Amino acid sequence: MNIIVPIKQVTDLVEELEVDASGKDLNREWLKYKINEFDDHALEEALCLKEESGANVMAIALDSADIEKSLYTAAAKGADKLIKVTGDFGEAIPSHVAAKALANVLESLEYDLILTGVQAADDRDGQVAVLLAHYLGLPHVSVVTGVNLQDGKAIVHKEYSGGLMGEFEVDLPGVLGIQAARQTPRYAPVSRVRQAMRSTELEEMPAGDVSVAVGTTVQRMFKPETSDGAQMIEGSAEDVANQILNILSERGLKQ
């Protein structure tokens, strides 16, 4: 069983985000990047499947700022192989371009299952999992929270709303957009990441022709208006608590 896990980095959303001079993209000068949390779940699920029934796990990512750290972290957690896809992507890579680049590289690889995050915070033109599946002509299910391998097929749980789930049987190879792994993604200490940098080979493969038409252009990026946003309560924690309790009293919400 060969499992491929495409991962990518997104800006750390706890950071303050600013628009750049063009007015169309983030000011990336001081941005901190981290692995897309849903890709981290996809990697975790792949590693769980490996531990359960044996598999080769390969993490793959498009070249971007600091991506090697995320790839070596994947190796430190248990990925067997790493691939960096090289090409002239720029900083904000549209999902269609990313999916096409991954599809090009995957054509020369052997795999049974592709697990990647269900979405990322900057997928303006759609989710990579589904795009990738259709460039490769493979079946896909997104918003997956449980994966079981049985007789060369994957039995998966797809979440709807309110805790309702659909169960599907998917022929392999297939692509699954992972929402949550069966357990909290493991953590790799820095020492193990350093060790992985020394012991794991990072193979580079060219993206090939990624000239797909995205078909839309960004006109502007802006912070959501906060005109009807919250009235802020200020003061010491004690003041704040008093004010909140007053608001609750006024509305008859205090027992």
Partner 1 sequence: MSQDVFVIAEHLMGNLEDVTFELLGKGRELADNLDGSLVGVLLGGGVEDLNRQMGKADKVICIDHEQIAEFNPDSYSKCLMEVLKTHEPKVTLVPNTSMGMDLAAALSVDLDLPLVAYAVDASAKNGTIAVTSQLYGGKMNVESRLEGDRCIISVIAGSFSSEDGKSDNVPEVEEVSPPDSLTDLKIRFKRLIEPEAGDVDITQQDILVSVGRGIQSEDNLPVLQKLADALGGVLSASRPIVDNKWLPKTRQVGKSGLKVKPKLYLAVGISGAPEHIEGMKDAELIIAVNSDPNAPIFDYAHYGVVGDLFDVVGQLSEKLKG
Ligand X SMILES: Cc1cc2nc3c(=O)[nH]c(=O)nc-3n(C[C@H](O)[C@H](O)[C@H](O)COP(=O)(O)OP(=O)(O)OC[C@H]3O[C@@H](n4cnc5c(N)ncnc54)[C@H](O)[C@@H]3O)c2cc1C
Segment 50-89, which members bind partner 1 (CB under 8 A)?
A: none
Cα maximum dimension of the chain: 67
229 CB neighbour count, 10 Å cutoff = 8
Q: Residue 79: which of 66, 60, 95, 93 has the closest Cα?
A: 60
Distance separating alpha carbons of residues 48 and 44, to the nearest angstrom: 6
Instruction: Work out which of 179, 181, 196, 200 binds ligand X, going by CB under 6 A.
Output: 179
63 binds, among ligand X, partner 1, none (CB under 5 to 8 A by kind): none
Question: Is 81 or 158 the residue whose CB approaches ligand X more closely?
Answer: 158
Segment 2-21, which members bind partner 1 (CB under 8 A)?
A: 11, 13-14, 16-17, 19
Question: Is 124 or 194 the residue whose CB approaches partner 1 more closely?
Answer: 124
Q: Residue 117: which of 128, 126, 104 has the closest Cα?
A: 128
Tokens of 185: 């993604």
Residue pair 95/212 in contact by the 8 Å Cβ criterion: no
Segment 127-156, which members bind partner 1 (CB under 8 A)?
A: 127, 129-131, 133-135, 138-143, 155
36 binds, among partner 1, ligand X, none (CB under 5 to 8 A by kind): none
Distance separating alpha carbons of residues 180 and 182, to the nearest angstrom: 7
- Taking CB under 8 A as the binding criterion, the range among 59-67, 76-84, 91-99, 201-209 that sits at the site for partner 1 is 91-99
153 CB neighbour count, 10 Å cutoff = 14
121 binds, among ligand X, partner 1, none (CB under 5 to 8 A by kind): partner 1
| Least gap, CB of 234 to ligand X (angstroms) | 15
143 binds ligand X (CB under 6 A): yes
Residue pair 125/92 in contact by the 8 Å Cβ criterion: no
Instruction: Work out which of 169, 203, 204, 209 binds partner 1, going by CB under 8 A.
Output: 169
Tokens of 101: 């680049």
Question: Is 201 or 234 the residue whose CB approaches partner 1 more closely?
Answer: 234
Distance separating alpha carbons of residues 221 and 79, to the nearest angstrom: 36
| Least gap, CB of 111 to ligand X (angstroms) | 24
| Least gap, CB of 195 to partner 1 (angstroms) | 27
| Least gap, CB of 240 to ligand X (angstroms) | 12
Tokens of 206: 């060219």
Instruction: Work out which of 32, 51, 110, 245 binds partner 1, going by CB under 8 A.
Output: 245
Distance separating alpha carbons of residues 166 and 144, to the nearest angstrom: 9
| Least gap, CB of 14 to ligand X (angstroms) | 5
